[in-house]
Structure 1
Amino acid sequence: MPIILWGILSVIAVYDLKENRIPNKLLITIIVVKTFFLVSVNMDSFLDSLISGTALFGLGFIFFILRAMSPGDVKLLATIGFASGITQFGSLLFYLTMAGGLVATFCLFDAISKGYKPKSVKQKTNELALTKDLINVPHSRYEQKLVMPFAPSVVIGLALFYYFN
Structure 2
Amino acid sequence: MNVTSLLFWGALLAIGVSDAQRHRIPNKMVLLLMLITVCHLFVYGITQWSDHLLGGLLAFFVSLLFYWKRAMAAGDVKLLFVVGLWLGLDQLAGASAYIILAGGVIGCFYLVQFLALSGISWQHNVKSYYYQRVSYKFQYHTKLVIPFAPAVVIGLASYYYLH
The answer to whether structure 1 residue 94 and structure 2 residue 90 are counterparts is no
Between the aligned partners of 1:130 and 1:97, the Cα distance in structure 2 is 30
Which residue of structure 1 aligns with residue 22 of structure 2?
A: 19
Equivalent in 113, 121, 128 of residue 130 of structure 2: 121
Equivalent in 138, 142, 145 of residue 144 of structure 1: 142
Which residue of structure 2 aligns with residue 58 of structure 1?
A: 61
Between the aligned partners of 2:143 and 2:15, the Cα distance in structure 1 is 23
> How many pairs does the alignment contain?
154
- Give the superposed CA RMSD: 2.1
Query: Shift in Å at residue 79 of structure 1?
Result: 1.2
8 Å contact from structure 2 (residues 95, 159) kept in 1: yes
Q: TM-score, normalised by structure 1?
A: 0.84
Q: Where does the alignment leave 5 or more consecutive residues of structure 2 unmatched?
A: none
AA aligned to 2:113 is D
Aligned residues with identical type, % of pairs: 34
Between the aligned partners of 2:97 and 2:6, the Cα distance in structure 1 is 23
Between the aligned partners of 2:161 and 2:9, the Cα distance in structure 1 is 13
Secondary structure at 2:143's aligned position in 1?
A: coil
Q: TM-score, normalised by structure 2?
A: 0.85
Alignment deviations for residues 82-138 of structure 1 (CA, whole Å, 9 cap, x no partner): 122222322111101110101001111111111263632323553x3379xxxxxxx
Structure with the higher helix share, 1 or 2:
2
Which residue of structure 1 aligns with residue 151 of structure 2?
A: 153
Between the aligned partners of 2:82 and 2:132, the Cα distance in structure 1 is 38
Between the aligned partners of 2:138 and 2:27, the Cα distance in structure 1 is 41
